[in-house]
């Protein structure tokens, strides 16, 4: 089954404690992205990757890091989480080229930073 898998689904952490949210896709997609969803703002892109070892900032990259060492994996790292990073996070993947391919999303990770 084609899917994007994120872990964990729920996470409560304290300010400053480093955390990693994992993301893996089994569709051999070149493009992967991280989004955060906040009420009234929709989804905003944090970082994206066009292929292995190729990553770039999205609209709201501050406080986040990513890496793409393998095509299937794209972890999101919060080195020193702060309460304003409390949000619902989505990993997404899609094929390259053209505008007609939809994004496949993970189940979401609900992060609370206290």
Partner 1 sequence: AQKITQTQPGMFVQEKEAVTLDCTYDTSDQSYGLFWYKQPSSGEMIFLIYQGSYDEQNATEGRYSLNFQKARKSANLVISASQLGDSAMYFCAMRGSYNFNKFYFGSGTKLNVKP
Residues interacting with partner 1, by CB under 8 A?
Answer: 31, 33, 35, 40-45, 48, 50, 56, 58, 88, 90, 92, 96-100, 102-105, 107-108, 110
By beta-carbon proximity to partner 1, the closer residue of 80 and 88 is 88
CA 55 – CA 100 distance, rounded (Å): 22
By beta-carbon proximity to partner 1, the closer residue of 77 and 88 is 88
Decide: 82 and 113 in contact? Cβ < 8 Å. yes
CA 7 – CA 94 distance, rounded (Å): 19
Query: Cα–Cα distances in Å, from 90 out to 1, 94, 99?
Result: 19, 13, 20
By beta-carbon proximity to partner 1, the closer residue of 42 and 69 is 42
CB of 79 to partner 1, least distance (A): 23
CB of 21 to partner 1, least distance (A): 14
């Amino acid at each position: 089954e084609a899917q994007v898998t994120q872990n964990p689904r729920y996470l409560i952490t304290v300010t400053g404690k480093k955390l990693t949210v994992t993301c893996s896709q089994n569709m051999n997609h070149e493009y992967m992205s991280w989004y955060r969803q906040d009420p009234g703002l929709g989804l905003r892109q944090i970082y994206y990757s066009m292929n292995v070892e190729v990553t770039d900032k999205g609209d709201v990259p501050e406080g986040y890091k990513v890496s793409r060492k393998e095509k299937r994996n794209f972890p999101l790292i919060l080195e020193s989480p702060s309460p304003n990073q409390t949000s619902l996070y989505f990993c997404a993947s899609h094929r390259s080229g053209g505008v007609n391919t939809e994004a496949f999303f993970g189940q979401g990770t609900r992060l609370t930073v206290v």
